[in-house]
A and B are shown apart, each in its own frame.
Chain A
Amino acid sequence: MVISRRDAMLSVVAGLIVPWQTFAFEKQGQQDNDIFLSCRILTNGSYTLACMNAGGHVFWENALPGRGHGFAIRQGTDQFVVFARRPGQYAMVVDVRTGKTIKRLSSITGRHFYGHGVFDRQVKRLYTSENDFERGRGVIGIYDADSDYRRLGELDSGGIGPHEVVMLHHRDELVVANGGVRTHPDFGRTPLNIDSMRPNVAWLDPSSGVVNNRLELPESRRRLSLRHLAVSDVDRVCVAGQIVSANSAGEDDMLEPLVAFSDGDSQELGIAPDAAQKLMRRYLASVAWLSDPGLFVVTAPHAGVVTLWSQTGQFQGSIEVARDSAGVCSDVSGKTAWISADTGKLLSIDFPSRVKSSHQFALVDGYFDNHITCVPRA
């Protein structure tokens, strides 16, 4: 009998878990309000999901069946969903208090997950970005959270390659970053339509599937894949992109990493000034909204900076962080940004002081993956 590396890793991880009962999610101090989730890559190549708090406690860290990516938090409950990284086929509904899997979802035949999802405002339905890969069509899967996450159907995402999907705060409308890149699992993550890609941001009515608004990039920026989104308190959207490719002649002079903004009613995306864009070096990984300073925080891992933006798109400066810092989320208070680096460290930045603090956790050796999210207490 061969013990697989994954089995071995489960034991290792289990041995290092701090029993959640020790802390029991009871408030031990103000900073313990903030509970974070992040997928991790362990140095032995295994993939896990870790739950920590800002006080440095690790509640649990559990093995995942494959590399994980983003999260959907079911507000008001102990549940959240972690999604496989594209082109993954699993999503796990997990109890945040125990780390136990409540339900494992598998993508249906002909679909795979893109790594993100969101609950509706009534926390009854889960919407997931998925790929109808034979037809090259982006879809939003619909799952009934009250009926064991039964798949109810799907909506057209309004484009190709839907990635992050978010729900507005003040009306039932989904916002989808359609990255524009067609992929097929037979070819891994290889882009198949670079010269014809048309990324967009789409506002969808989840009850009807109607695309209420769809904003594309200008012609010169069509190779910028729009991937990640955040929504402000008043439903303004910040979208972050990344260059997928130059063409074979190297003609990408017009392309720089993109941050764009919209209130959803406008006819075009408000694109931030090029001078600020160049700072970010072609690749943006995550966006978060911090309600107290009223800023969008965008991570630029290649440049080793986070950039700050007002909700109308005014550049508010940048802060140096470790290279490959990809994940960002707001704490519960909306005053502190938490940033994860694939080097395995967590950084917090308080506002308005912009003071940085580094945080250590008793985690198995490894690295944080693309995203980190903050879980409000139920």
Chain B
Amino acid sequence: MKIIRQLFVTILCCLSPGVGAAQPDSGKYQAINITFVDQFAVPAYEAFDDAATHLARSAEAFCENMNDNTREGLVDSYYEAMDAWQWVQMISIGPISFELRRFRIQLWPDRRGNVSRHLDLLLSEKNTGALSGAEFQTGSVAVQGLSALEILIFDESGGLATTTPVATENDDSGFRCQVINAIAQNVASIAKAVRTEWTESDDAFRGYIETASLGNAFFDSADGLSARILHDLRVQLQTIVEYKIERPLSDTAESTRLRRAESWRSQRTIHNIRINLKAIHSAYDVSFRPFLSEELALRVDEKFNQADELLAPIGEFSTAALIDPVERERINAVIEVVDELVQLFIQQIPAALDLNPGLTSLDGD
């Protein structure tokens, strides 16, 4: 696994802006960075690890005895794991960036249908050897995570209305269940590794956060790391608008492309967005907010609250809201509010913290 890790590690030192002639207040930035990690990222990955472990147990139980109870347990634990993943989905730094873990947990957006295509291949070949731990982890990224699991658990034709598990007692159920189990074990394994590597391993990543400065292999300055964290929050806001809403929404209800929506089979599109926004708000709250003026902090809070109030009535689990004329109006209002948040994260917040938004050099080219 170490070899794979070395193959796929992605790192952010090259992406963090450094300091210019004037040395910034590194104490402030160190505080931002460490509170982000200690009060948001690490607890969130612990929660994800717990949820993924629960998912693995539920999958095992389902495959040992397929009945309504175990099926319900599997669905519930899938929701729980996906919710926990949505909470940390925005984080690009740290152990999640090693070994393509982000993509192995969830390959989305999947413009070319890789998940379905590779899953179909896996199911048709019925090669149990491909499901063993090492084989599975080094095989197709597309079938390793929650995106593939959603296809196996939820009925495509029921995508708009029902959430019926399809891994029932049919001819293929045995192998399908083995695939479900392999994915669940794999997600749990990745979640465990990420949790461990943040704080518990010999070379725990938290140490690189604490010591961000020249000579640190990952982050060459504390302010650069703060900018990187802020960048992650802002990119997630833009992802919500551009990918999670606008890409499926289209101009008219009739031309809406629901299958472009995230988690459309499990009807969690809007639900995911609410979690994302709450996560961004929470991360910002513990790390950046204490260093902003009360006026600016309240403006930011107000926008997050507006977005949540707009989303709440749409329906916790409804992807179909994207084609409902009334709800679409509300969703368009959400776009406006989140766009305003993006502005705050590009302009006012970086300016108040003396951080460059890093639009070019944070994702260098």
Q: Which residues of A contact B (CB under 8 A)?
A: 1-2, 4-5, 41, 43-45, 69, 85-86, 115, 163, 185-187, 189-196, 227, 242-253, 281-283, 285, 301-305, 320, 322-324, 326, 342-343, 367-370
Contacts and interface: CB of A to CB of B under 8 A. Distances in A.
B14 A69 contact: no
Contacts of B241: 45
Given A186-B112, A187-B103, A342-B356, A242 B252 contact: no
A85 B361 CA distance: 13
Given A1-B251, A4-B246, A190-B103, A324 B361 contact: yes
Contact of A285 (B216, B342, B343, B361): B361
Contacts of B343: 43-44
B69 interface: no
20 contacts: A2-B332, A43-B346, A43-B347, A85-B365, A115-B365, A185-B111, A186-B112, A186-B114, A190-B10, A191-B10, A194-B7, A250-B216, A253-B217, A282-B14, A304-B18, A324-B361, A326-B361, A342-B360, A367-B360, A369-B360
Interface in B349-365: 356-361, 363-365
Contacts, number: 153
A5 B339 contact: yes
Closest 10 CB pairs of A and B: A250-B217, A304-B20, A302-B18, A245-B11, A301-B361, A246-B217, A248-B9, A281-B18, A243-B14, A342-B360
Contact of B203 (A41, A196, A244, A249): A249
Contacts of B10: 190-191, 194, 245
B16 interface: yes
B100 A187 contact: yes
Contacts of A41: 359
Given A69-B365, A302-B361, A324-B356, A245 B252 contact: no
Contact of B13 (A1, A44, A246, A367): A246
Contact of B359 (A195, A282, A369): A369
A192 B7 CA distance: 7
Interface in B84-107: 98, 100, 103, 107
Given A1-B252, A243-B14, A245-B9, A45 B361 contact: no
Contact of A252 (B18, B217, B365): B217
Contacts of A191: 10
A340 B217 CA distance: 29
Contacts of B112: 186
Contact of A194 (B9, B20, B251): B9
The residue among B13, B114, B203 with the most chain A CB atoms within 10 A of its own CB is B13
Contacts of B346: 43
Given A195-B7, A243-B14, 6 more contacts: A45-B241, A186-B103, A246-B11, A249-B6, A283-B14, A304-B20
B365 A45 contact: no
A323 B356 contact: yes
A303 B8 CA distance: 27
B103 A227 contact: no
Given A243-B13, A320-B20, A323-B20, A283 B217 contact: no
A44 B339 contact: yes
Interface size class, chain B: 35 or more
Nearest to B5: A248
Contacts of B5: 248
Nearest to A257: B14
A246 B218 contact: yes
B217 A189 contact: no
Nearest to A252: B217
Given A1-B252, A303-B20, A242 B14 contact: yes
Given A194-B9, A246-B218, A252-B217, A86 B365 contact: yes
B208 A250 contact: yes
Contacts of B208: 250
Interface in B236-260: 238, 241-242, 246, 249, 251-252
A253 B215 CA distance: 8
B21 interface: yes
Contacts of A43: 343, 346-347
A41 B98 CA distance: 29
A320 B11 CA distance: 27
A324 B14 contact: no
B298 interface: no
The residue among A5, A301, A323, A326 with the most chain B CB atoms within 10 A of its own CB is A323
A192 B9 CA distance: 8
A194 B364 CA distance: 16
A323 B358 CA distance: 9
A45 B9 contact: no
A322 to B, nearest CB: 7
A324 B7 contact: no
A5 B21 CA distance: 38
B14 A342 contact: no
Contacts of B49: none
Contact of B7 (A193, A283, A368): A193
A1 B107 CA distance: 32
A194 B6 contact: yes
A292 to B, nearest CB: 27
Contact of B8 (A85, A194, A323): A194
A342 B13 contact: no
B356 A343 contact: yes
Nearest to A6: B246
A331 to B, nearest CB: 22
Contacts of B342: 44-45
B150 interface: no
A251 B364 contact: no
